[in-house]
């Protein structure tokens, strides 16, 4: 069950779970929104239900449909992805006496920036954790926060290190061919940001850093691919900063060509569950500059596959990009190190850990039900 099949890394991660589980088990997917999950299910004949769930005000109606579909299909286990899917899904599964596995993909506690959010986040996560059979934290920061806030559920909470995956065939793309295809200049250093335009992603930090770089570097160009609610605001900020070597690409499906063509990947995010972008960059042998936050620092090592910078330090972010623009040797060294590190995020190895836990939950539930008969 997934809250919103929209933009971002969440649906991509759920898709990896879907592909792997489908090799051994029958799957029914319930989700809000429309994107890669709907496309995959439609193309591969996987039973799926699109429910009114992608907006918070629609969730009560979505909850009704969750109850309806659980009653209809009576699954052995419910796998939950995301805060609202976790909350409503855990309640529905509990009412139907079905075990549930909550995968904490959204680092909800990083959004406790006012009293309402603080209370809401704590209450929702408490109920979800209370009713779930197992909770999977996908970064050390998340794991630590859940243990601290809900120590009485500690036996349920497990840390799943390296939870995201990448298919390594992607690095077979040719940089030269991709640049020709995109029409990018061969003699420039191309910096790429793949991101949603949201408060979490802090594109404003990147634009401020790039404004400093444009005064110091003459052969670099920044490309930002993605869209979101803050896109218009960020375009206006770029105009205010008088940025000349920057292009907003909008939402793109040719991200593999973009990754192949670029020299450096940047990620100015404020927090993550577990970031996909660094894995994609390493799969193409590209160095990364990113904020040193939970969900990112687990992906790559500072000064080895890329450079980690204190979040919000615009000058340090700018300086880190400048180092990579000026040193081809450093870019090549970090890119090669990334190609080696990304192997530990192989799809089959990572997904098998989740599948084993799911099978354990089902086995325990079956034994319990037999004793109760």
| pLDDT, tens digit (0-9, with 9 covering 90-100), for 222-280 | 999 999 999 999 999 999 999 999 999 999 989 999 999 999 999 999 988 888 899 99
Quote the CA–CA distance of 281 and 161 in Å, as a whole number.
Answer: 19
Query: pTM of the full predicted structure?
Result: 0.86
Is residue 100 very low, low, confident or very high in pLDDT (cuts 50, 70, 90)?
very high
| Token pair for 234 | 């960020």
Is residue 371 very low, low, confident or very high in pLDDT (cuts 50, 70, 90)?
very low
Angle (CA) 358 30 77, round 5°: 25
Quote the CA–CA distance of 193 and 223 in Å, as a whole number.
Answer: 6
Q: Is pLDDT at 57 greater than 90 in this prediction? A: no
Which pLDDT tens digit goes with each residue over 352-368? 888 888 888 888 777 65
74: left (phi over 0), alpha (psi -120 to 50) or beta: left
How does DSSP assign 171-230, residue by residue?
Answer: GGS-HHHHHHHHT--TTSEEEEEE---STTT-HHHHHHHHHHHHTT-SSEEEEEE---TT
Quote the CA–CA distance of 326 and 319 in Å, as a whole number.
Answer: 10
Q: Is pLDDT at 120 greater than 50 in this prediction? A: yes
Task: Please give the C-alpha separations between residue 184 and each of 195, 227, 246, 290, 350, in angstroms, as whole numbers.
Answer: 20, 21, 12, 23, 35
Secondary structure letter of residue 298 according to DSSP: T
Calculated CA dihedral for residues 43, 46, 52, 54, nearest 10 degrees: -70
- HEC per residue, 135-187: EEECCHHHHHHHHHHCHHHCCCEEECCCCCCECHHHHHCCHHHHHHHHCCCCC
Cβ atoms of 257 and 178 closer than 8 Å: yes
Q: Is pLDDT at 9 greater than 80 in this prediction? A: no
pLDDT of residue 373: 45
Cβ atoms of 214 and 244 closer than 8 Å: yes
Residue ranges and CATH numbers for the domains of the chain are 2-164+347-372 (3.40.50.2000), 168-345 (3.40.50.2000)
Secondary structure letter of residue 343 according to DSSP: G
Calculated CA dihedral for residues 334, 316, 184, 181, nearest 10 degrees: 50
- Nearest Cα neighbor of 237 from 266, 263, 211, 259 is 211
Quote the CA–CA distance of 362 and 77 in Å, as a whole number.
Answer: 6
Q: Average pLDDT for residues 296-325, to the nearest whole number?
A: 96
């Amino acid at each position: 069950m997934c809250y919103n099949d929209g933009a971002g890394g969440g649906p991509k991660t759920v898709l990896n779970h879907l592909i792997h589980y489908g090799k051994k088990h029958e799957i029914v997917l319930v989700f809000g929104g429309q994107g890669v999950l709907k496309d995959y299910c439609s193309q591969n004949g996987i039973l799926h239900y699109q429910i009114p769930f992608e907006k918070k005000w629609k969730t009560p109606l979505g909850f009704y449909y969750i109850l309806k579909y659980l009653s209809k299909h009576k699954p052995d286990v419910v796998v939950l992805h995301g805060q609202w899917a976790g909350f409503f899904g855990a309640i529905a599964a509990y009412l139907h006496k079905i075990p549930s596995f909550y995968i904490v993909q959204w680092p909800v506690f990083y959004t406790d920036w006012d009293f309402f959010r603080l209370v809401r986040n704590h209450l929702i996560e408490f109920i979800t954790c209370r009713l779930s059979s197992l909770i999977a934290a996908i970064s050390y920061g998340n794991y630590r926060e859940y243990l601290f806030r809900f120590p009485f559920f500690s036996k349920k909470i497990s840390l799943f290190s390296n939870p995201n995956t990448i298919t390594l065939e992607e690095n077979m793309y040719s940089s030269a061919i991709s640049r020709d295809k995109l029409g990018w200049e061969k003699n420039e250093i191309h910096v790429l940001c793949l991101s949603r335009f949201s408060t979490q992603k802090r594109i404003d930090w990147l634009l401020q850093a790039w404004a400093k770089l444009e005064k110091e570097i003459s052969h670099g160009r920044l490309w930002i691919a993605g869209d979101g609610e803050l896109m218009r605001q960020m375009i206006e900020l770029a105009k205010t900063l008088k940025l000349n070597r920057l292009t907003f690409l909008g939402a793109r499906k040719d991200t593999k060509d973009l990754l192949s063509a670029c020299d450096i990947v940047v990620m100015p995010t404020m927090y993550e569950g577990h970031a996909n972008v660094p894995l994609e960059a390493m799969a193409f042998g590209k160095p990364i500059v990113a904020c040193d936050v939970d969900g990112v620092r687990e992906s790559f090592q500072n000064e080895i596959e890329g450079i980690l910078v204190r979040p919000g330090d615009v000058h340090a972010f700018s300086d880190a990009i400048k180092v990579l623009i000026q040193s081809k040797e450093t870019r090549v060294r970090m890119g090669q190190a990334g190609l080696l590190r990304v192997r530990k995020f192989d799809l089959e190895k990572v997904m098998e850990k989740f599948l084993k836990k799911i099978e354990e939950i089902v086995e325990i539930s079956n034994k319990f039900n037999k004793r109760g008969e």
